[in-house]
Amino acid sequence: MMLKLGVIGTSWITAQFITAAHRTGMYRLTAVYSRHAETAQHFIAESAPAQAYTDMEAFLGSDIDVVYVASPNSLHAAQTIAALSAGKHVIVEKPMVTHPSQLAKLEEALAAHPDLMVFEAARHIYDPNFHAVTDYIAHHPVTGATLAYMKYSSKYDDYLAGKQPNIFTTKTAGGALMDLGVYLVYAAVGWFGVPTTATYQPHMLASGVDGDGVMRFDYPDFGVTLVTGKTTNHFAPSEIYFGRTTLQTDTPGELNYLKLISAGQRTDITAAQHDNPMVSEARFFAEAITKNDRAAFDRQWALAKQVHTLMGQMRAATPIHFDSDPD
């Protein structure tokens, strides 16, 4: 079955997802929603033939099976609920929610449409190298980890120039934890489970979002440090420790290589990756939807809930407040 795909948002990430989706041979772009007709037409001309919409209701009412949501963070939960209410499956960019209270609302919408699925596009957890790490951990006791995902944002110069790019405002629920930190939380929870305690120490920007920060997760037998940021580039490797052996990668957000270092010996255990990092997730979502694999959906949903519950707990103890947060 070919899934008819509708997309919300017209930036480069939507184009990359459409390319990945088409590569799987399991989706066909059908509808593009933009706030502006010209933007939608231009996007369609640059990507693939589709119907352009500027009216959300008409877009959601059109002949599509699944909606990919790549709007600013603050809109994700509401647009996901609107798509579910219109009877569409949803693939929503990270972060799926910006406050844990939105999880209950999503669950309500899902309960009203038990045939539908919602997936968070946490692309790295579908990467073959993510699974390779999971497999290694299954057979070797972890003794700790230091994981980082920190990149100088292409929008930071605009921010420094006094503009208000979405990713640096509280209005759109931006900041380092929401944007790149969530990849690390996914990796830690996916690989090590839910920690006993979790804290986030952010460095705040004047706009009210975090420019960078450090999370500390404690587990009964080890501790994990997670470093995230949008205002500097981090080039040091990320590492998971197994006593005398260390598993090294560039960052859990990309996993371009995996290297085991033990007794002075280095062994490359990198798995083959797609050049487009969204192909694996696009295939996983399409297979789950077309085969109605509820077990696959339930697993991913449970993980997403754990991740966003933790994100909410950590953020509650910081000065990061979004305009959309409940009072």
- Binding residue (CB under 6 A) for ligand NAP from 19, 39, 143, 207: 39
- Binding residue (CB under 6 A) for ligand NAP from 62, 73, 238, 251: 73
Helix (H, G, I), strand (E, B) or coil at 25: coil
Q: Which of residues 95-124 bind ligand NAP (CB under 6 A)?
A: 121, 123
- Binding residue (CB under 6 A) for ligand NAP from 24, 30, 34, 251: 34
Confirm if 47 and 31 have CB atoms less than 8 A apart. Answer: no
Residue 35 as a binder of ligand NAP (CB under 6 A): the answer is yes
Q: Which stretch binds ligand NAP (CB under 6 A): 67-75, 106-114, 259-267, 305-313?
A: 67-75
Smaller CB distance to ligand NAP: residue 10 or 228? 10
Considering the complex, what minimum distance in angstroms separates the CB of residue 218 from ligand NAP?
27
Range 136-142, long-range pairs (CB < 8 A, 24+ positions)? 136/247, 136/260, 136/269, 137/191, 137/192, 137/240, 140/242, 140/245, 141/221, 141/242, 141/243, 142/191, 142/192, 142/219, 142/221, 142/222, 142/240, 142/241, 142/242
- Binding residue (CB under 6 A) for ligand NAP from 4, 13, 132, 144: 13
The vertex-94 CA angle with 209 and 281, nearest 5°, equals 155
Q: Which stretch binds ligand NAP (CB under 6 A): 30-38, 207-215, 228-236, 240-248?
A: 30-38
The whole-angstrom separation of Cα 12 and Cα 192 is 32
Residue 203 as a binder of ligand NAP (CB under 6 A): the answer is no
List phi, psi (to 5°) of 119.
-120, 135
Considering the complex, what minimum distance in angstroms separates the CB of residue 28 from ligand NAP?
20
Q: Which of 51, 92, 55 is nearest to 70 (CA)?
A: 92
Residues that bind ligand NAP (CB under 6 A): 9-11, 13, 34-36, 39, 70-73, 75, 93-94, 121, 123, 166, 179
